[in-house]
Amino acid sequence: MNTALYIARRYLFAKKSTNAINIISAISMVGVLVGSAALIIILSVFNGFEEMVLKMFNSITPQVVVTPAKGKTFNPNTAYFNQLRKDEKVYSFTEVLSENALVRYDTKQTPAMIKGVSNDFLKNKSLDTIMVEGTFVLESRAGQPQAVLGSALQAFLSVNPADPFEQLQIYSPKKGAQGNSVNPLDDFTMLSISPAGIFEVQQDFDNLLIVPLSFARELLGESTEVSSIEINVNTGVDAEAFKKKVENDLGSSYVVKNRIEQNQALYNVLGSEKWMVYIILTFILIIAIFNIIGSLTMLVIDKQKDISVLSSLGAGKKLIKRIFLAEGMMITLTGCIFGVLIGLIFCLLQQRFGWIKMGDANFMFSNAYPIALKWKDFVLVFATVSFFSFIAAGLASNLSVKKIDRINQDL
């Protein structure tokens, strides 16, 4: 058995001559335990929120989107796109035509983004999870076009999807209109459409009005071209590899983006928030870890006679330093291990029973705080504690050999 580790373990459990040493050591261990458990719990909660937010975004954001590098629209009826439409890797191939227009409901009006989508858009089964009211349908049973609008747009216009008599009126400038007409409305195309439901994801999407592609074509006077193509791949297909292949095939005339690139700001915010919380809690953990310096300093003073005896028996300064280094590491890592276990148990119980509530229930989130466990967080916490424990214990262990020669003379 390692001599330094053996002696350090004896010191850890042996009774000290001064109770303060035991108390300070216990405080250090409890501080590390609480800090480690808090890190695991908070990081797991952030993981849970991240998964829920991304799940909502992914319900309306395609895995791959193709847009023109120049201009607003392009022709989707080329040989390559027709071949891509039939590719066995593709689950849904949605043609999208979008443009800003004026939306009016009753006496209120506001600009909004009109997004016309082809039928493949409805293959996304998770669309119902973002609905606040009504259903995600773009065509009534009678074959009439219907619209689904974002919650921000609905709130501004006070749209009531349950009212079958009031329709949305959408105004879009006619192509080639000069603006010289006696009646300004003659320069606009005006179409009416019934609202079928309200969805809510995030502010960037909640000002959308989603309509059938045929309706958007009629409104915008565009018979063939589209603004983008949204593609989702089949289960088991590597979306990133598929995206790179499409990007290489299309060349510089098109821009191909994956989900991260489409929502870069969101991913950056989610990542930075989690790391900021980690840094703040790590500073608190460092304070608890560095309490070990006081504990080891008092232990060195208490064990001066033992140090002298070990030195007389031939123990070198490195061995003595390793003893107290191992002592400090054992105290902090014991606290870390128990803290991680407590954090893990708490997270599992929260996942199972949802004891800790967020307050008022939300239509998108469950009432309980979400938890998502990732093994990388456990490794990160253990590595953080080990790193700072080694520094703190190393500083304290240097005291054990600083005055070893004078101790030998005194004793």
**Model confidence over 340-395: pLDDT tens digits?**
999 999 999 998 888 888 765 554 555 778 899 999 999 999 999 999 888 888 87
Residue 372 amino acid letter: A
CA-nearest of 260, 257, 222 to 98 is: 222
Higher pLDDT, 31 or 360: 31
Q: What is the pTM of this model?
A: 0.74
Q: Do 170 and 39 reside in the same domain of the chain?
A: no
Residue ending a domain, among 233, 259, 285, is 259
Give the pLDDT score at 1: 46
Average of per-residue pLDDT across 102-117: 93
Q: Do 35 and 52 reside in the same domain of the chain?
A: yes
Give the pLDDT score at 19: 62
Q: Do 372 and 228 reside in the same domain of the chain?
A: no
Q: Do 51 and 85 reside in the same domain of the chain?
A: no
pLDDT at 291 exceeding the cut of 50: yes
Average of per-residue pLDDT across 244-261: 92
Q: Do 226 and 323 reside in the same domain of the chain?
A: no
Euclidean distance between CA atoms 167 and 165, whole angstroms: 6
Q: Do 92 and 222 reside in the same domain of the chain?
A: yes
Structure tokens at 126: 């998770």
* pLDDT, averaged across the chain: 83
**Contact by Cβ (8 Å): 122, 60:** no
Residue 294 forms part of a structural domain: yes
Q: Do 79 and 124 reside in the same domain of the chain?
A: yes
Q: Do 105 and 251 reside in the same domain of the chain?
A: yes
Among 71-75, 167-171, 363-367, the range scoring the smallest mean pLDDT is: 363-367
Euclidean distance between CA atoms 357 and 366, whole angstroms: 9
Average of per-residue pLDDT across 383-410: 72
Q: Do 251 and 381 reside in the same domain of the chain?
A: no
Q: Do 113 and 94 reside in the same domain of the chain?
A: yes
Range of the domain at 18: 3-57+267-354+365-410
Q: Do 46 and 73 reside in the same domain of the chain?
A: no
Residue ending a domain, among 242, 259, 276, is 259
Q: Do 285 and 210 reside in the same domain of the chain?
A: no
Higher pLDDT, 22 or 239: 239
Residue 359 forms part of a structural domain: no
Structure tokens at 226: 């589209």
Residue ending a domain, among 190, 224, 259, is 259
Task: Give me the torsion for CA of 175, 181, 184, 188, rounded to 10°.
Answer: -20
What is the domain count for the chain? 2
**Contact by Cβ (8 Å): 138, 145:** yes
Name the DSSP letter for residue 313. T
**Model confidence over 202-213: pLDDT tens digits?**
776 788 999 999
Average of per-residue pLDDT across 132-155: 90
Give the pLDDT score at 363: 45
pLDDT band for position 185 (cuts 50, 70, 90)? low
Give the pLDDT score at 395: 79
Nearby residues of 178 by Cβ (< 8 Å), 6 or more positions away: 187
Higher pLDDT, 411 or 205: 205
Q: Residue 146: in which H helix or E strand, if any?
A: strand 146-150
pLDDT at 160 exceeding the cut of 80: yes
